[in-house]
Structure 1
Amino acid sequence: MKSAVENLNPTRVRLTVEVPFEELKASLDAAYKKINQQIQVPGFRKGKVPARVIDQRFGRGAVLEEAVNDALPKLYQSAIEEGELNPLGQPEVDITELKDNEQLTFTAEVDIRPELEIPDYTGIEVEVEAAEVSDADVDEAVEQLRERFATTSVVERAAAEGDVVKLDLEAKVDGEVLADGVAEGIDYTIGSGELLEGIDEAVKGLSAEESATFTSELKGGSAAGKEAEVAVKVNTVSARELPELDDDFAQLASEFDTIAELREDSRKRLEQSKKYEQATKAQENVLEKLIELTEVPIPEKLLEDEIQTRKHNLVNHQLGQMGMDLATYLQMQDKTEEEFDAELKEQAEKGIQTQFILDELVSREKLNVNQEELTEHLMRRAQSSGMSPDQFAQAVVEGGQVPMLVGEVARGKALALVVESATVKDTNGELVDLDDEEDEEEGAAEADAAAESEDTESKDAEKADDKKSDA
C-alpha cells in the first residue's frame, strides 16, 4: 500500500491511498463468506457455494463492493498511522479507481489537529482583585446569617415593605384565565423582587382578605412574554422579626459563644473565599493571555459541530428541563438570536483553542496522569453530578469516557504548570502567592476549555430559570 498526504490547509488534509489488489485478499475472502451465509443456490449446501458461482449469479461487483467496504477502515487507519496524523472526526472517502485484480485507489479528506507553536509562557503577567475583606463584608455576612433566623408573626395591619404576605394569584390574558396562571397560598416577602413586576406596589397597603389587580409581563409559562392582568388577594400579613446581634444569637446560630467569635469566623471564611476566587480568576486570566499569544487554527467542521452541540445541550437539556424554549430564554436574557449565535461561536472557539493548546502542552511537557489523580478527579465530578462515586465511575466505564477524564486531568495539570510560571499581582501591586490554592484549584478549574464556555451558558440558563419561577 502507498499513501500520500496533501495539506489542504493547516487543519485539513487529503490522503491518497493506492492498494495492490493482493492486499484485498482477506477482505475478498470475508466477502464471499458473508454472501455465502446469505444466499441459497440449488444444488449447493448453504455456505458451500463456490466463488465462481457467486460471481455468475450475483455479479463480481457485489463481491468487490462488500470487500472494499470491509477493507476501507483498516486501510484508512494504516494510512493515518503512516502519515503520523491526528485526525478529528470522520473522513470523507471517495473511491477514485477500482480495477479488478489490479488496484484500488481512494482519497480521504479529514480534519486534523493543527501543529502549534507554544510561545514562552514564563513571562505572562496578569492582575487580579486584591483578596481584601472589609468590616462591611463581615457585617453583610453576619446579617445574612441573621436573616436565616428571622421569625414571622401574623399582624392585624396593612402590608408594608419587608413583610411576608400569603397570596393567591390569578393571571388573565385577553380576558381568559390561564391554565397555568393560578396559584394559591404563595409566601412572598415584599420588596424581594422574587415574583412579578408590579406586585410590590399592588400589595403594599393591603390588609388580610383584601385584593388588587395589576398588569405585568409574564416571564414564563404558556403565555411567556405577554401582558397579563393579575388579580392578587392577600390572605395574611406577617411581620418579620430579626434576632438581636448578641452572644445569645451567636450560640443559637453557630458553635461560638460570643458574637465577636462569630464575626471573626465569618471574616476567616470570607478571606478563604476571596483567595479561592482570586486563584480562579488568576487561572482564567493566564489562560486568556496564553490564547492571545498562541495562533490556533480551528477546523471549520469541528467548530460547526461544537456550536451545534452546545446549542443542542442548552435548548434540549438545560432549557428543556425548565419547560422553556430558546425564544423565551433570549427574551429573558435581552439578547437577539444573532447576538446569541455570536456569543456561542466565540465560546466554542475559545473552548477548542484552549483544548488544543493544553493538549499540546501535555504532549510537550510529557505530563502523565496517575491513578490517584484520576480517582480524585472522578470523585469531584461525581459530587458535581449528584451521583455517588460508584455510580459515576460505572457510568464513565460503560460509556467509554475514561480517556476523556484522563484528558481533563492532564489539561488541568498543563494549565497549573503555566499558572505556576506566570507572575500574578493584585490590584494593590502585591505579588499573589497561589501555592496554597494550587491543589484545590488544579481540580476545580480542570481547564477543560470546552466545558468552560458551556458552564457560562449553564449559569445564564440558571438565571433564566430563577426569573421563570417568578412568573
Structure 2
Amino acid sequence: MKTTVENLDPTRIKLSVEVPYETLAPAIDAAYKEIGSQIQVPGFRKGKVPAPVIDQRVGRAAVLDRAINQMMPELYRDAMVQADRVPMLQPEVEIADAPNLVGPAGGDLSFTAEVTVRPVFELPSVEGTELTVDAVEVTDEDVDAELENLRGRFASLKNVTRKAKTGDFVTIDLKAEIDGEEVDSASGISYEIGKGNMLKGLDTALRGLKAGESATFSTQLAGGPHEGEDAEVTVTATAVKQRDLPEADDDFAQEASEFDTIAELRESLKDQVRETKAADQAVAARDLLLDELLSKVEFDVPSDVVKAEIDKHLQATGKSGDEDAAKELEEDMTKGVREQILLDVLAEDLEVQVEQGELIEFLFQTAQQYGMEPGQFMQGAQRAGQIPAFVAEIARNKSLAMALRQVKVTDSAGNDVDLTPFVGSDEQDAAALVEQVEAAAKAAAAQTEADDAE
C-alpha cells in the first residue's frame, strides 16, 4: 500500500492511498462467501455459489462495495500510521478508483482521505523546572470553619414564626408564569436561604417572609423546556425553620467523633485541614506545570475540533444551535482543546500506560459523581464507545503526575514540598509493574495446570 501525504494546513492533511488488488483479495473473497450464503441460486447449494454467478445475479459492484467498506477502517489506520500523524476527527473519504467492475478480476483501489490531525510540535523537557506553591499554614480560623461544618451536620431544625433570614431553611412552593401563563410549578421544596443554587433572585425574595407569605420576582428559568426564558416566579414559604447547632463541648466531641474532648477533636480537625492544604499544593503544582509547558510551546488549535466540542456541550445542555452560547464557550473550549493536545503528547513522551484497575476506579468515581450504579454506568459507557476517551483522560492526568516527579517544588517559605503521596514515584511504578507481571505469570500457570488436568 502506498500513501502520499499533502499538508493542507498545520492541522489538516490529505492522504492519497493506493491499494493493490492483492491486498483487497481476501476481503473480496470473504464478501463473495457472505453474499453467496445469503442468496439462493437453482443448481447450487447455499454458500457454494461461484463468483461469476454472483456477479451475474447481484453485481460485482455490490461485492466490491462490501469488501471495501469492511477493509476501509484498516486501510485508513495503516495510512495514518504511514503518515505518522494522529487524527482528531473522523476523515472525509472519497474513492478515486476501484477494482474492475467487468472483465477479469483485478485493478487497484485508490482513495483520498482529508482529516484533521494533531499539530506537530516539540515538547520541552521539564527537568530542572522549579515551581513555587503556597506554604501550608493552618490557622485557628481554619479549624473553627471545619468545626462549624461538623456542627452543622449534627444540627437540628426548629420551626420559627419570625421573618426568614439567611441561613434559615424554608419549605417553599414555586409557580412560574410567562406572559401570564403558568409554565412550571413545584411544591414542598426544602431550601437554605443564601445557598444561591436555585433561581437568581430567590434568596432576596425569601428574606423577610414568614410562613404562609408569598413574594413574586422576575428571573430566568434554570431548567425544563423554558430554560433561559424570562419568567415571573411566585414563591410561597410554607414553613420557616432555623438551624440549632450543638454546643462545641466535650459531649459534642464524643457524639460526633471518636475523641473524648473538644480539644482532641480540634487537633484532629487541624490535621485534616493540613492534609487538605497539602493536597491543594499538589493541585497548584500541577496547574503551574501545565501553564509552564503551555507557555513554552506554540501550535495551532484545530478550529473544527473546538467547534465539535462546543456543539457537544450545547447538545448536552439543550442549547443546540444557540450562536450566542457558542461564542461564550469558544475561548474556554479552545483552551481546553489546547491543554488536551499538549497532555496527549506528554503522555506519549512519557510512555504512560493505563492499567485496568485505574480504569475501573475512574469509572466507579465518575459513576458516583453522576449518582449512577457503577455497573450500569460502565455498560452505558461501553455501548456509547466512551471507554477510549476515559482511558485518554486517565493518561493525561497520569502524564502530569509523572512529569511532576521531575520538577523541584518549594513553598512560599522556601521549604521543599514532597508530592510523592499525590503523584507517586518511579520506584512505586516499578514495584507495581513487577506485581502485575508476577500476578499474570501465576494466572497463566494456573490456567496451564487446569488445561492439563482436563
TM-score under structure 1 length normalisation: 0.70
1:230 to 234, 240, 252: 234
In 2 relative to 1, CA 170–381 (structure 1 residues): closer, same or farther, beyond 3 Å?
closer
1:359 aligns with 2:347: yes
1:275 aligns with 2:278: yes
Any gaps of 5 or more consecutive residues in structure 1?
Answer: 317-324, 444-471
Aligned to 1:341: 330
Measured in 2, the distance between the counterparts of 1:175 and 1:72 equals 56
- Aligned to 1:117, the other structure's residue is in SS state coil
Measured in 1, the distance between the counterparts of 2:182 and 2:73 equals 58
1:135 aligns with 2:140: yes
- Aligned to 2:405, the other structure's residue is in SS state helix
Task: Please say if residues 152 and 240 of structure 1, whose CA atoms lie closer than 8 Å, have aligned partners that are also in contact.
Answer: yes
Aligned to 1:287: 290
Aligned to 2:94: 94
Give how far 1:326 is off. Answer: 7.3
Task: Please say if residues 199 and 214 of structure 1, whose CA atoms lie closer than 8 Å, have aligned partners that are also in contact.
Answer: no
AA of the residue aligned to 1:414: S
Q: Matches of residues 81-120 of structure 1 in structure 2 within 5 Å?
A: 81-82=81-82, 86-98=86-98, 100=100, 103-109=107-113, 110-120=115-125
Task: Please say if residues 203 and 234 of structure 1, whose CA atoms lie closer than 8 Å, have aligned partners that are also in contact.
Answer: no
- Aligned to 2:236, the other structure's residue is in SS state strand
- Aligned to 1:119, the other structure's residue is in SS state coil
Measured in 2, the distance between the counterparts of 1:217 and 1:276 equals 39
1:171 to 169, 175, 190: 175
Task: Please say if residues 98 and 107 of structure 2, whose CA atoms lie closer than 8 Å, have aligned partners that are also in contact.
Answer: yes
TM-score under structure 2 length normalisation: 0.72
Q: Deviations over 1:403-461 (max 9, x none)?
A: 66665554444322321222333344544332343339xx9xxxxxxxxxxxxxxxxxx
Task: Please say if residues 135 and 411 of structure 2, whose CA atoms lie closer than 8 Å, have aligned partners that are also in contact.
Answer: yes
1:379 aligns with 2:361: yes
Aligned to 1:422: 407
Task: Please say if residues 176 and 232 of structure 2, whose CA atoms lie closer than 8 Å, have aligned partners that are also in contact.
Answer: yes
Aligned to 2:445: none
AA of the residue aligned to 2:252: F
Give how far 1:283 is off. Answer: 0.8
Measured in 1, the distance between the counterparts of 2:57 and 2:166 equals 89
AA of the residue aligned to 2:135: A
Task: Please say if residues 3 and 17 of structure 2, whose CA atoms lie closer than 8 Å, have aligned partners that are also in contact.
Answer: yes
AA of the residue aligned to 1:338: K
Give how far 1:25 is off. Answer: 4.1
Q: Deviations over 1:310-335 (max 9, x none)?
A: 444x426xxxxxxxx6799x9xxxx8
In 2 relative to 1, CA 391–217 (structure 1 residues): closer, same or farther, beyond 3 Å?
closer
Give how far 1:265 is off. Answer: 1.3
Give how far 1:98 is off. Answer: 4.3
Task: Please say if residues 132 and 285 of structure 2, whose CA atoms lie closer than 8 Å, have aligned partners that are also in contact.
Answer: yes
2:217 to 215, 218, 225: 215
1:439 aligns with 2:424: yes
In 2 relative to 1, CA 279–232 (structure 1 residues): closer, same or farther, beyond 3 Å?
same
- Aligned to 1:103, the other structure's residue is in SS state coil
AA of the residue aligned to 2:142: D
2:317 to 300, 315, 318: 315
Aligned to 1:124: 129
1:253 aligns with 2:235: no
AA of the residue aligned to 1:220: A
Task: Please say if residues 296 and 353 of structure 1, whose CA atoms lie closer than 8 Å, have aligned partners that are also in contact.
Answer: no
Q: Deviations over 1:26-60 (max 9, x none)?
A: 44444444454455556666555554455556655
Task: Please say if residues 153 and 238 of structure 1, whose CA atoms lie closer than 8 Å, have aligned partners that are also in contact.
Answer: yes
Measured in 1, the distance between the counterparts of 2:360 and 2:84 equals 32
Q: Deviations over 1:173-201 (max 9, x none)?
A: 368573633524x5555556566636656
Give the aligned CA root-mean-square deviation in angstroms.
4.2
Bigger mean CA deviation after superposition, 252-261 or 88-97: 88-97
- Aligned to 1:93, the other structure's residue is in SS state strand
Q: Deviations over 1:213-242 (max 9, x none)?
A: 44342543566543426263555x555443
- Aligned to 1:122, the other structure's residue is in SS state coil
In 2 relative to 1, CA 267–91 (structure 1 residues): closer, same or farther, beyond 3 Å?
same
- Aligned to 1:169, the other structure's residue is in SS state strand
Measured in 1, the distance between the counterparts of 2:392 and 2:164 equals 56
In 2 relative to 1, CA 227–327 (structure 1 residues): closer, same or farther, beyond 3 Å?
farther
Measured in 2, the distance between the counterparts of 1:221 and 1:89 equals 32
Q: RCO higher in 1 or 2 (8 Å CA, sep ≥ 6)? A: 1
Measured in 2, the distance between the counterparts of 1:130 and 1:275 equals 9
Give how far 1:274 is off. Answer: 0.7
Give how far 1:273 is off. Answer: 0.5
- Aligned to 2:14, the other structure's residue is in SS state strand
Bigger mean CA deviation after superposition, 123-132 or 396-405: 396-405
Aligned to 1:180: 184
Task: Please say if residues 163 and 208 of structure 2, whose CA atoms lie closer than 8 Å, have aligned partners that are also in contact.
Answer: yes
Give how far 1:135 is off. Answer: 1.3
AA of the residue aligned to 1:348: V
Task: Please say if residues 173 and 235 of structure 2, whose CA atoms lie closer than 8 Å, have aligned partners that are also in contact.
Answer: yes
Aligned to 1:468: none
Measured in 2, the distance between the counterparts of 1:122 and 1:50 equals 66
Task: Please say if residues 198 and 216 of structure 1, whose CA atoms lie closer than 8 Å, have aligned partners that are also in contact.
Answer: no
Give how far 1:286 is off. Answer: 0.5
Measured in 2, the distance between the counterparts of 1:190 and 1:403 equals 43
Measured in 1, the distance between the counterparts of 2:22 and 2:156 equals 87
- Aligned to 1:123, the other structure's residue is in SS state coil
In 2 relative to 1, CA 92–284 (structure 1 residues): closer, same or farther, beyond 3 Å?
same
